[in-house]
Amino acid sequence: MKIALAQLNYCIGDFEGNTNKMIKSALDAKGADLVVFSELSVCGYFPSDCLEYADFIEKCQQALGQIAVKCAEVPLLVGCPVLVETDANGERRLANAAVYLYKGERKVFAKARIGDNALCDERKYFKSSSDDGILELDGIRMAITIGDDLCNWAEDPLLIENRLDRMLNLHPNLVINLAASPFDYTMPLKRCNLLRKTVLKHEIPLLFVNQVGAQTHLIFDGGSMAYASNGHVDYALPFFSEAVEIIDTESLYFRRTDTDRLVVPDKLALIHDALVLGVRDYFHKMNFRKAIIGLSGGLDSALVTYIAARAIGVENVRVLLLPSQFSTDHSVSDAVALAENLHVPYDTIAIKPLFDSFSSALKPVFGDRPFDVTEENLQARIRGILLMAVSNKFGNILLNTSNKSEAAVGYGTLYGDMCGGLSVIGDVYKSEAYALARYINREEEIIPWHTIEKAPSAELRPDQKDSDSLPDYDVLDKILYQYIECARSCEQIVARGFERAVVERAVRMVNRNEFKRQQVAPILRVSPRAFGNERVMPVVAK
């Protein structure tokens, strides 16, 4: 039997675009006995409160009907929200379903394990299914599962207990999983190992179809796979791009080689490709064309400029150089060098005259109070005003350049350098940003090496260095990882070998800057725990 895995990039609520893309892929998959799409493919994943609107569900059904008519001669498995029942009070009951369509036949397979994680709270919208069904085609009995149905349901992480276990009495000889598995840099390998354990436990081949593309902060990496019964990957679709591949399932039962055809890129390659895809899809799906970035000569703005140029093309990226009286000559020259390396147009606006004007206007109020963080923040806000002015005048979307370390400890100015429509590297620690820059320069110098090697500085006062206000990033980032990603307490972090005073200082900074983080742009998620939807903390707390 030949089954096509359709790894496509959907847009939430774009029923016409999603439907046309699915119809074309199905009709192009000539020779396939079944075409499988990913989870909630009709409407895009994850639609959140769109699912509470009756007309949204109705449009899902209309799209499903259109696909059924246009592809009547092609057997399909389509991900779609389906109204499965209504209670006595008229309340809608939705299922996250895989719908089989062929020549007027329609069969619904509903998801059993409804997730309640911070990224996609499915329990708010969907009803769990206790019905386990088999799709039988050409003598092959296929267990249809969706997303987390194949995750470990047991307390013991060494024991895989999932929906397939309770379907064994139905005697499946092939497993199909429709998924929309959000990306983080640990997920491709973690996902691969989990699915492999399932295959090895039951010695049943498995087809995994994942979504690709970005939906605001969520990125989906694709990486769809076909596992042979011996637990090795016989077919692998690419990461971060659309693909349709026809799998000959017969080979999955008789494969004897112990070599996987799946190659998972390393962490830096994954982060790089995810960020490029995240920016590209944000612009494409929002119908934006051009970006504006404040290019300081520092590492973070250089990274964001490079990523934007890769994502939407250099012709659609514009940068402003906004030097102050505290900016060094090499910062300006580094910024110019990067713009010229990328062939990105740039303009220079010195902010000292504006800063002097503001200072003069405030003099009657401030009196003789000395220069402090107020004047530092004033410079950052002047830059924010200038960048937003260009954004308004020309329609360029401002990209934020703050990294995760800065966001964590509040090392940024609200309504200044924290402005932007999208936070590109807000889930990338500073130490990871350095490594990413070196990865970008692995074949040629794109980001000036001086930008990477010099001590980081906000350059808002004479001879300022980040290390004046923060622990060294090599130490700080390790502490932040323990506190944010691992949710460990101060005592637990100190027990891992870190200096108590540094740990307590870092944690205090994280805690007291929650109010800033709750006002920033959406952050592209590339880590196991990003700020935003995942780490939700009260603003007012002790």
* Mean pLDDT in residue range 322-341: 90
Give the pLDDT score at 158: 66
Give the pLDDT score at 100: 98
| pLDDT over 90 (residue 364) | yes
Query: For residue 346, what is the enclosing H or E element?
Result: strand 346-348
Q: Where are the beta strands (DSSP E) in 124-224?
A: 134-137, 140-146, 174-179, 206-210, 212-215, 218-221
Which tokens belong to 146? 């969706």
| pLDDT over 90 (residue 117) | no
* Mean pLDDT in residue range 508-532: 94
Using a pLDDT cut of 70, give the percent of the chain over it: 97
| pLDDT over 90 (residue 311) | yes
Give the pLDDT score at 383: 96
pLDDT in tens, 197-218: 999 999 999 999 999 999 999 9
| pLDDT over 70 (residue 516) | yes
Give the pLDDT score at 90: 61
Give the pLDDT score at 422: 97
Report how far residue 499's alpha carbon sits from residue 493's, in angstroms, rounded to the nearest whole number.
9
Give the pLDDT score at 413: 95
Give the pLDDT score at 50: 96
| pLDDT over 80 (residue 257) | no
Which tokens belong to 418? 């924290």
Please state which of the ranges 210-219, 238-247, 259-268, 497-506 shows the lowest mean pLDDT: 259-268
pTM for the model stands at 0.95
| pLDDT over 90 (residue 495) | yes
* Mean pLDDT in residue range 13-35: 96
- Model confidence band, residue 326 (pLDDT cutoffs 50, 70, 90): confident
- Model confidence band, residue 11 (pLDDT cutoffs 50, 70, 90): very high
Using a pLDDT cut of 90, give the percent of the chain over it: 82
pLDDT in tens, 380-411: 999 999 999 999 999 999 999 999 999 999 99
* Mean pLDDT in residue range 425-446: 97
For helices 430-440 and 299-312, angle between their N-to-C axes, nearest 10 degrees: 50
| pLDDT over 90 (residue 159) | no
* Mean pLDDT in residue range 452-468: 81
* Mean pLDDT in residue range 62-77: 97
Give the pLDDT score at 536: 83
Please state which of the ranges 136-150, 200-214, 250-264, 510-524 shows the lowest mean pLDDT: 250-264
256 CB burial (10 A radius; 0-12, 13-18, 19+): exposed
| pLDDT over 80 (residue 121) | yes
Q: Which CATH superfamily is domain 2-264 in?
A: Carbon-nitrogen hydrolase (3.60.110.10)
Mean pLDDT, the chain, whole residue set: 93
- Checking 9-12 for CB contacts under 8 A at 24+ apart, the result is 9/211, 9/212, 9/213, 9/242, 9/281, 10/38, 10/41, 10/43, 10/44, 10/45, 10/211, 10/213, 11/44, 11/213, 11/215, 11/285, 12/43, 12/44, 12/45, 12/46, 12/47, 12/50, 12/215
| pLDDT over 70 (residue 88) | no
Give the pLDDT score at 119: 85
* Tally of CB atoms within 10 A around 500: 11
| pLDDT over 90 (residue 456) | no
- Model confidence band, residue 131 (pLDDT cutoffs 50, 70, 90): confident
| pLDDT over 70 (residue 533) | yes
* Mean pLDDT in residue range 91-109: 92
Instruction: Determine the 3-state secondary structure of 463 from DSSP.
Output: coil
| pLDDT over 70 (residue 371) | yes
Give the pLDDT score at 91: 66
Give the pLDDT score at 38: 98
Give the pLDDT score at 171: 93
Cis peptide preceding 183, ω within 30 of 0: no
Pairing of strands 76-86, 317-321: unpaired
- Across-strand partners of 399? 422
> Could you tell me which CATH number the domain at 271-470 has?
3.40.50.620
| pLDDT over 70 (residue 347) | yes
| pLDDT over 90 (residue 319) | yes
Q: Which residue has the higher pLDDT, 5 or 457?
A: 5
| pLDDT over 70 (residue 87) | no
- Model confidence band, residue 542 (pLDDT cutoffs 50, 70, 90): confident
Give domain limits for the chain.
Answer: 2-264, 271-470
| pLDDT over 90 (residue 458) | no
Q: Which of 509, 511, 507, 512 lies closest to 491 in space, CA to CA?
A: 507
